[in-house]
Amino acid sequence: MALNDAMWSKYKIGESLRIIDPETRAFATKNPFLHPKPGILPVDGMAIDRLLEKGTLFSVCNVALRAQSKKLASNAGMSPEEAAKEWAANVVPGMTIVPSGTWGVNRAQEAGCTYCAGGG
């Protein structure tokens, strides 16, 4: 969810992770959570771009980013190291890469935020 459309296409993220684009009903070739047409997502206001516009803070787990880029590097003919650099450079503007998701949650809690797991 944290990567721009170009990375979704280049690394075949939708096909590899079996993510269906609700608009095309095929494997996603673009980030389906970023700039969707109105009415595509179950809740229109939950699109990443709309949440960023409202001031929502997004943290991107660097551990997950590196693991997934390594896993999908061969889809784009890239080395794991090249893919990791490219993914980090193509995170959706406004999102922040943090060392790990656990670290990010802990830091947020230290600042007074609370955490509730939404699924998994």
Q: Where are the domains of the chain?
A: 5-110
Q: Which residues of the chain, if any, have pLDDT below 70?
A: 118-120
Q: Is 58 helix (H, G, I), strand (E, B) or coil?
A: strand
pLDDT at 86: 98
pLDDT at 44: 76
pLDDT at 35: 94
pLDDT at 119: 58
pLDDT at 41: 87
Q: Is 113 helix (H, G, I), strand (E, B) or coil?
A: coil
Q: Which residues of 22-32 are buried (b: 16+ CB within 10 A; e: fewer)?
A: eeeeebbbbbb
